[in-house]
Structure 1
Amino acid sequence: MVSPAIALAFLPFVVTLIIRYRYYFLLFYRAVLVRMVQDCLTSLTREERAFQYVLTHATPGDPNSILDTFDHWCSKVEYMSNIGPRKGKVLDRLIVDNAPLTVLELGTHCGYGAVRIARSLQLGARLYTVEMDERNAEVAEKVIRLAGFDDDTLELIVGTSEEVITKMREQYGVERLDFVFMDHWKRCYLPDLQLLEGSGLLGKGSIILADNVIFPGAPHFLRYVKKSGLYQYRTHRATLEYTPGIRDGMAELTYLGVK
């Protein structure tokens, strides 16, 4: 057993550690422990619980109400890694300012990002959003339709990002992507970006916005972007969604074309 004297000597170190990393401990509690307990108590996934809350509290057909209700649930009830309201404003501005006609979202999750993008699209624009988890895709489909968007504006595709990117031309008739929003597995950011390049779906001026490049981070992706010479690049620094004490950011890339 550890003597009281030794334990007391380590106490300042433990307290300092807890204070320094308190937001990470809080994130672990909200994102992991609370989720585990609620999974057992409800027999529903976290995404299904979020949809039940939105269905009960949001106004159908009103995208703003859907997003506000999601934000309240994620900040006050259970944590979920949507882009959130602060970083979402950057996404909103880029969509409005650039008025893309064809948009690809990688990582639909529960539909928050898709609704956020779709509400800012101009008439005639189309969003393809990709989710590999079938159960999450079912939730996202309900959220998207609850917000009032139909297949003419927003098409949800179930599959991996790699599978879908390779089929964009042949199966979906897409010749060019004006805007790509990456918010899926961070380890897929780089291979998917290179796949987009190789497929010819990126044209000069195409914009790629990648979330969470600082936390949990996508270092290989950022290193490639900086060295490739194919992109004009900037980072939008912010904090992790619904967790203000953890630094995060998004990478905004503008494709310059093949050298």
Structure 2
Amino acid sequence: MSWGKLSDPKMYGAEEYFITSLVVFIIIVMVKHLIYHTIYYWWYRTGRLYIPMKLNNLLTGKSLPQRLYEFSKNARGDSEIVSVTLNVIEAYCENKEFALTIGTKKGDLLENVCTERKPKNALVLHSICGYVVLRILRSSPDCHVYVVEPDEEKSVFTQKLVALVGKQTQVTVIQKNPEEIIPKLEAEYDIRKLDFIFMTSTAPQAPYYHKVLKQFEESELYHKGSESQQTVILADKVIHFEEGEFLKLVRYSKDYTTEYHQMPLEYSPDDIVDGMEKATYVG
């Protein structure tokens, strides 16, 4: 087939009509995406221009974790360096580029839970560039945080961010999949019991919380004692990323008490609904 035929309708056959229809369809989808997602949703509703992360990676030659880390190096402070760095990250995500870092409202809830539980150790599933780790360390200065992050680049920049605020001795980054390492935490990292567990996800419609919850239940990592020593789990994006199986497991089990906290997805309008589930093991 000659592409010259496309300019002459008299020469059209089934193949030319198919190609022309396909091109028109692609153009319509691109225009719709530009109008709705870029102009309406991000520019009109949130006041910032949206550039897809992969396109931003291509244009800048840097990944999102790297961009966040380099922007965080602008933080200045002494004893409040953690707070200053958190403010810098939040400003970046609010004004420059959307990132799934849980944000200020969810971050405040996370710190409230940690302040109440006073964990000596915590496990974070997926680092999301280290933001959650700094939130835990600010609310629980004596806590040691174990971060399970399968992505090599996110692991590297989480370690760099933690070193930037001088907390590297309190953080252990484990570059493995959660389902692979959870059964080995005691043997390989000498973790006997976990005070606090934070779960988050980085991909929509890829639920995994219920799988790791089963692994925790089969392990000896839960505290079984007085109320002040119970293991607390805080799960993020249980609505936005459809963690229905996890919600059913904790809500209908006599081994947990649960609290649901509904709030918007980070750095998004109020009608973009998300939620966090706090589950305390009482079994």
Sort the TM-score into its range (normalised by shorter chain).
Answer: 0.7 to 0.9
Q: In the alignment, which of 112, 128, 135 is matched to residue 131 of structure 2?
A: 112
State how far apart, in whole Å, the 2-side matches of 1:53 and 1:180 are: 28
The equivalent position to 1:242 in structure 2, one of 247, 252, 267, is: 267
- Residue type matched to 2:147 in 1? T
Q: SS of the residue aligned with 1:56?
A: coil
Report if the CA contact (8 A) 2:207-2:242 is conserved: no
Once the two structures are superposed, what CA deviation does each residue of 1:134-156 show, in whole Å capped at 9, x if it has no partner?
011111111111122022x2211
Match for residue 163 of structure 1 among 180, 189, 197: 180
Q: Decide which of 25, 28, 52 is 1:34's aligned counterpart.
A: 52
The question of 1:142 aligning with 2:142 is answered no
- List runs of 5+ in structure 1 lacking aligned partners: 1-13
Q: Give per-residue Cα distances to partners, 1:72-126, cap 9 Å, x unaligned.
A: 1011001000111111111101111111112111111211101111122243x32
1:182 to partner: Cα distance: 0.4
> In structure 1, what is the Cα distance between the partners aligned to 2:87 and 2:162?
14
Partner residue, 1:77: 96
Tell me the equivalent position of 1:8: none
Does the 8 Å contact 2:238/2:277 carry over to 1? Answer: yes
Residue 55 (1) aligns with residue 73 (2): yes
Cα 1:200–1:23 change in 2 (3 A) is farther
Residue 184 of structure 1 and its aligned partner are, at CA, apart by 2.9
Tell me the TM-score normalized by structure 2: 0.77
List gaps (5 residues or longer) in structure 2. Answer: 1-31, 225-229
Does the CA-based 8 Å contact 1:34-1:78 persist in structure 2? no
Return closer, same or farther for 1:254/1:146 CA change in 2, 3 Å cut-off.
same
1:138–1:210 CA distance, 2 compared to 1 (3 A): same
Aligned residue in 2 for 1:198? 218
Contact 1:128 1:157 in 2 (8 A): yes
State the alpha-carbon separation in 1 of the partners of residues 86 and 179 from structure 2.
28
TM-superposed deviation, 1:41: 1.3
| Partner AA of 2:95 in structure 1 | K
Structure 1 residues 58 and 220 mapped into 2: Cα distance closer, same or farther (>3 Å)?
farther
The CA RMSD over aligned residues, in Å, is: 2.5
Matched, 1:251 2:270: no
Aligned residues of 2:43 and 2:49 also touching (Cα < 8 A): no
Partner of 2:239, secondary structure, is helix
Q: What TM-score does the superposition give when structure 1 sets the normalisation length? A: 0.83
Task: Find the residue that maps to 1:92 and give its secondary structure.
Answer: helix
Task: Please state how far the C-alpha of 1:57 moved relative to its aligned partner.
Answer: 4.4
What percentage of residue pairs aligned between the two structures are identical?
A: 30
Q: Name the aligned partner's letter for residue 240 of structure 2.
A: F
1:195-219 CA distance string (max 9 Å, x none): 0110121123210000011112211
The farther-off stretch of 59-68 and 185-194 is: 59-68
Amino acid paired to 1:235: Y
Larger RCO (alpha carbons 8 Å, 6+ apart): 1
- Structure 1 pair 193–24 and aligned structure 2 pair: CA distance change class (3 A): farther
Q: Tell me the amino acid that sits aligned with residue 198 of structure 1.
A: E
- Aligned to 1:92, which of 85, 104, 111? 111
Matched-pair contact (CA < 8 Å) for 2:194–2:231? yes
Contact 1:130 1:161 in 2 (8 A): yes
Structure 2 letter corresponding to 1:41: L
Structure 1 or 2: larger strand share?
1
Secondary structure of the structure 1 residue equivalent to 2:231: strand
Relative to 1, partners in 2 of residues 1:189 and 1:24: Cα closer, same or farther, differing over 3 Å? farther
